[in-house]
Each structure stands twice: as structure tokens, then as C-alpha cells.
Structure 1
Amino acid sequence: MNQVGIVWLNAWYSKDSELEVSVRSPNGFVTPFQKIITDGNAAQDYQLPDSRVQLATPPPDQANGDHNFFVQIRGIGPSQVMGGIWQLRVRNCSSTDTCLNVWTLDDTSSVFFTGKSVKDAVKIGSPGAASSAITVAAYTTRTKYTDIDGQVREMGLELNTVSDFSSEGPLRNNGHKPDVAAPGAMIISTLSADANFDRSSMINSKFVVQAGTSMATPFVSGLVALLLQRDPKLDPAAVKDLLRKNSAIPGKPPGTFDEKWGYGVINALNL
């Protein structure tokens, strides 16, 4: 871990297990193991000689019944969190094995995980993780543009690949997400007269360039609106099934799922 003001970790595991949690600092100082706290304040503070640690181990989540916990690490006084290798220690107090998924809620350039179990995946959260939601990955169809001042802007993305900023599946329960993919990088759209964009993002006074899965989702929303216009009786499951069956990952046969692409790019003509 590099220098940062505060570190947040969030972890989830199965309702069938019960974990106790502890943190070890780079200097070897440790917090006590903290069990799930069902009564009172689930967040407990620990003052170590080189850091301040808060562990929150609440009862099972009301939405899905699974367990989760939070870890907060701060420096002493106004100091930043000590750089180095921190250890998240867990021990299983039940007889059931479990899979523990841990995410950092901080800038990944400052906080990163090490070890054989680290994988840059399982990054799709709410609302995209909902089973009825159509979750859209973004792929790159444009890598550069010319701004309002005639400057050529390049974003360092690779053409016709899933964009670096597009979150990767699957879900914690191995559910297939994302569902499909749509253009989401360097998308040119209308510019509101009340918007305040940097000139480097503007094509002219009426159009602006943006990137993100928020750019990819409207493509699919438009297709869904047309499908519902044709058949108002379609439910979310039927719409999703139509999209998946008429999508394909470039270079792969239809029906192939990928944790970055989902089921691929939609062939709108077949819908």
C-alpha cells in the first residue's frame, strides 16, 4: 500500500459461515479478532501504536442474508496511513467452508491486494448486480477526437476491446454479468446549454465527448424501448433473453459468455 489518508475495505461471505476479523499493520501490531456483533454498535475502534483501525462486523444483511464487514484504517493524528503490507486476518468459527470476497473502496493506485487469490474481477455492484437488470459493458469504438480548439485528444484505449473502465463480472454467486456490451468510449452527444464542461471535452458549442458505462447503457435502453413499443407485454426476463440470444462477442460464436463482454454486442437487425 502506498501513502493514503484513509483505507476502506468491504468484504462479503456466505450466510452459512461466521468469520472473526483482525488487522495486522506493517510493523506487526494487531487488533483483537472481532466476531459478528448482533447487539449494539457493530463498529469497534482500536488504537494501535502506528495506526487507528475500525472494524464493523454487523449481523447478516437484510437484503440477501449474507455476512459482510468493513475495515477502516487511519494514520495517527493527521498522519497518512503507513505504507507497506497490511494483513487482513480472518478465522472461520463455523464448520462450513466459505469464500471471502474483499474489495478496496479506495483509489486502486494507492491500495492494492497481493497473493495468489487476487483477481481483477467481481466488480459489478448495485444496481447492475440485480438479476432483473440489464447490465451493459462498454467497449471502445473511438480512441481519439478533435476538440473545440482543434486539439487531437487520445485516451489511450484500444479499439474494439472492452474499455478499461468497464467493470468485470461475474457476481459473487457466479451469476453471469454483464449481460451485453455497447459503445461507451469517446461517445459524442448533445451538450446542454446549462452544462459546464472543460473545453477539452467539447467538440463544439453543441456537442461533447464522454466515456463510461453510462454512455453504453443508453444504447441498450433505446433498443429496449423499441422492443416494448412493439410488444408491451414483454417482461424483464423476456427482454434480456432476446438481447442475449441476438448478441455475440467479436470473433466468438453466439451464446459465448465472457466476464468482460457478457454475451457480446447486440445485433439490432435480428431483434
Structure 2
Amino acid sequence: NQVGIIWLNGWYSRDGQLEISLRSPNGFVTPFQPIISNGNPSKQYNLPDARVEIVTPGPDPVNGDYNFFVQIRGGGFIFNQPVPGGVWQLRVRNTSGNNVRLDVWTLDEAASVFFTGKSISDTMKIGSPGAASTAITVASYTTKNKYTDIDGIERQVGLELDDISDFSSEGPLRNGSEKPDVVAPGAMIVSALSSTANFDRSMMVNSKFAALAGTSMATPFVTGLVALLLQRDPNLTPEAVKDLLRQNSSIPGQNAGTFDKKWGYGLINVENL
């Protein structure tokens, strides 16, 4: 597909020392760029067919690990031309002498970019802020896949009822931590429509409500539940709240306490809380 810009974000352990390079589908390459702890870690390279920016900063101040960014834009004489299609190679050189696991994500929302190769394992998709250890990370569960819009037209989305929504990111985290935590309804949820919102009529149920899908729709269910728990016991810590939710959640057909990379600990049994 025609894409104007592509971002890649990679993370790896503090035990590693990686140098990063990029090879275009036409065979043009950037130099290997090492970690740049002092000064500007961003370097730009003008290839004959693309413009590439590589950012290789020092250790992250929060977790001590390393990360890098790669930005790819179209090149040549025509401004804002699309990124050349084909197989791009992310070239990585390990100078540490230690075995290093590298996790890389694409930030392309148009789904025009995907990874190939023998080392690929598409298993971890939960990012910030859901990756925070104290965050309650909520997966989306499809309870509704049809609705009637404001014009009386029945709309149907391609999601399986009573299952994890296709768009809901799975875990675990890069460090092996269990995420998501729990599941809540996330499709198709009818919620209040702002008077200043500019939604397509196909998404509007009437002038005051719209039907939406997303983990952003699942999270408010749990937010309200946590508010009620804190109202009952204001001294609950984030970890105590998470423990309560986990202990009172289960995956359909599984024993309570079972974790799954898509379901977390499952649907919350609110009556038990």
C-alpha cells in the first residue's frame, strides 16, 4: 500500500549493545548506527530511494533497557512521495558478546507493514500505558456485533460474539509479565455522544448516542467498578484492587485463576466482589 511514513520501535535488554542499520528494497543501506549516550541520538540518512532517520539513545531512565526508533519516508526528487514498497531489512549488529532478545513493533496504523522471517513471533502487542505494572489492563470482549444506526440501517461488524475482540492486543509483556489483567465488554458499546463530536452517521444510534468498539470502550466498565470498590474501601492499593479482580474473574470454560495471553484472568464476576 501507499504509505507516507513508517515508524519502527525496538526494545532490548540492558545486557546488549546493538547497532542499527536499514536496507531498502532496492539494496541501498544506511551505516550501522551505535548507541549514542551523549549528544543527539538521532541521525538522518538520505538514500537514493528513501529518507531514513535512526534514533539510538542510551539506557531508558525508567527501566534501564535500550530502545531505538527508525523512521522511513519516501525519497528522491518528489517531496512527500510514498515509502518504496517491498521488503525492507532491519539490520542489527550485536557488539556486546551477550545473547540479546530484540522486540520490534511497527507504529503503522494502516496495517500496511508486517514482519517476515524465521525469527518472527507475533505474540506481544500491549504497549504503554497498559504495560505499566500498576495499571489494570483491560481486554475487549465482544457482546454485540449488530446495531441499528440513526437512519434505521442495520449495521454488522465482523466480530465473533462471546469472544475476545479481534482488535484487542494480547500479552504477555516483553519481560514476561502477565497482561492483560481482565476482560470487559468492548464491542459494540453504545455510549454518550458529545454535541461537538463529528461522527459518521453509520456510527450514530441517534443524535445523543453512538456505537463504538475498542479497548477504550472496555476500560470504562472496569474504571467504574474500581471507583465503587474504592468508595467501599478507600485504603485499597492498586495491587490490592488487581488481586480482587483477578481472584473474582474467570475465562469461560476454564478454572478460576487461569491466565491466558488474550483473556488475562477473564471476565469479572461482579456479584462476588
Bin for the TM-score computed over the shorter chain: over 0.9
Secondary structure of 2:22's counterpart equals: strand
Aligned amino acid, residue 49 of structure 1 = P
Secondary structure of 1:169's counterpart equals: coil
Which residue, 209, 212, 231 being the options, matches 2:211? Answer: 209
Cα separation, 2, equivalents of 1:255 and 1:116: 34
1:39 positional shift: 2.0
Cα separation, 2, equivalents of 1:73 and 1:190: 39
- What does 1:185-264 align with in structure 2 at a 5 Å threshold? 185-264=187-266
Aligned amino acid, residue 215 of structure 1 = M
**Correspondence for 1:53:** 52
Aligned amino acid, residue 221 of structure 1 = T
**Correspondence for 1:167:** 169
Give the stretch that moved more between structures: 68-77 or 86-95.
68-77
Secondary structure of 1:116's counterpart equals: coil
Secondary structure of 2:104's counterpart equals: strand
1:168 positional shift: 1.3
**Correspondence for 1:70:** 69
Cα separation, 2, equivalents of 1:211 and 1:102: 26
Deviations 1:206-256 (A, max 9, x none): 322111111111111111111112222111111100100110111111111
**Correspondence for 1:135:** 137
Alignment gaps of 5+ in structure 1: none
Aligned amino acid, residue 62 of structure 1 = P
Which residue, 156, 159, 168 being the options, matches 1:157? Answer: 159
1:108 positional shift: 5.0
Measured on the aligned residues, the alpha-carbon RMSD in Å equals 1.4
- What does 1:40-119 align with in structure 2 at a 5 Å threshold? 40-76=39-75, 77=77, 78=79, 79-119=81-121
Cα separation, 2, equivalents of 1:177 and 1:163: 16
Deviations 1:46-102 (A, max 9, x none): 222222221111111111111011111222242321111110011111122111000
Secondary structure of 2:256's counterpart equals: coil
Aligned amino acid, residue 198 of structure 2 = N
**Correspondence for 1:176:** 178
Deviations 1:170-216 (A, max 9, x none): 11101101100000001112333343332212222332211111111
Cα separation, 2, equivalents of 1:131 and 1:179: 10
Structure 1 residue ranges, 4+ long, deviating more than 6 angstroms after superposition: none
> Cα 1:44–1:221, aligned 2, differ >3 Å: closer, same or farther?
same
Secondary structure of 2:72's counterpart equals: strand
Secondary structure of 1:153's counterpart equals: strand
Cα separation, 2, equivalents of 1:204 and 1:81: 41
TM-score where L is the length of structure 2: 0.94
Cα separation, 1, equivalents of 2:207 and 2:48: 56
Cα separation, 2, equivalents of 1:197 and 1:151: 16
Secondary structure of 2:98's counterpart equals: coil
**Correspondence for 1:20:** 19
Alignment gaps of 5+ in structure 2: none
> Cα 1:6–1:196, aligned 2, differ >3 Å: closer, same or farther?
closer
Deviations 1:19-55 (A, max 9, x none): 0111111122211111111222211122222222211
Aligned amino acid, residue 239 of structure 1 = V
Report % sequence identity.
70
Count of residue correspondences: 270
TM-score where L is the length of structure 1: 0.95
